[in-house]
Amino acid sequence: MVEQIIRPTGLLDPIIEVHPSKGQIDDLIGQIRERIDRDERVLVTTLTKKMSEDLTDYLKEIGIKVRYLHSDIKTLERIAILRDLRLGTFHVLVGINLLREGLDLPEVSLVAILDADKEGFLRSERSLIQTIGRAARNSEGFVIMYGDKITDSMDKAMKETARRRTIQIAYNEEHGITPQTIRKKVRDVIEATKVAESKADYLTGAAGKLNKKDRQSLIQRLEVEMKEAAKNLQFERAAELRDALLEIKAE
């Protein structure tokens, strides 16, 4: 499996630390300010809608540019929010399930996982590993799990990340590679957004022009594609198709 672990840019899986939940918001704010000073971005994942909303409001009150990505936001608006995060219109993105976003976010250097020790779907080993991976596109990639104990899922996720990191470091040393964040120009970020928008627009916009029979046929085809993507562990693609389906059905 080495092929999937090694990246051409030499980027490493991130360093992970576990911080106590007591005083976690003050700690998080300090961590966020460090990244803002370096013109980097932060993802914060919470377990509940209320916590996401409260945290977003509080960060706004103290002058941090932040957005909350909630499930009610439609595909195109979500893509625009991610573009603005990358362009630095705001620095912190808060959400419950940030795995569903398909765009690469190399500007993100810190991923903060609140309530990491609350076992469940969003804090399972697989979910944690995928969330940790959000910080793996930046040479300063760092993950903080907030919690008062280390669950089995946390332990496995940290061990797997450390294992991958060891392989990556050894490969880089052997080949004289220095990890480098892929810095994209503003134009490239906007272009990538346009591509994603047109794809989402095609899926949802095309449905509005179809008769009932063809529309039903499109829904069935997308459902098959979504299940196939999930089966092949292509979760981001599956989420993209699911969102398109929800919008088509709502029209």
Residue 67 pairs in a beta bridge with 93
pLDDT digits 0-9 by tens, 148-169: 999 999 999 999 999 999 999 9
Q: Which residue has the higher pLDDT, 124 or 101?
A: 124
How large a percentage of the chain has pLDDT more than 90? 53
Pairing mode, strands 15-19 and 108-113: unpaired
3-state helix, strand, coil in the chain (%, to 5): 55, 10, 30
**CB atoms closer than 10 angstroms to residue 77:** 11
pTM assigned to the model = 0.77
> Contact 196/236 with Cβ under 8 angstroms?
no
pLDDT digits 0-9 by tens, 220-244: 888 888 888 777 766 666 777 787 7
> Contact 137/181 with Cβ under 8 angstroms?
yes
Helices then strands (H, E): number in the chain?
9, 6
Within a 13 Å sphere around the CA of 204, how many CA atoms are in the beta-carbon half?
A: 21
Q: Where are the alpha helices (DSSP H) in 180-234?
A: 186-208, 212-231
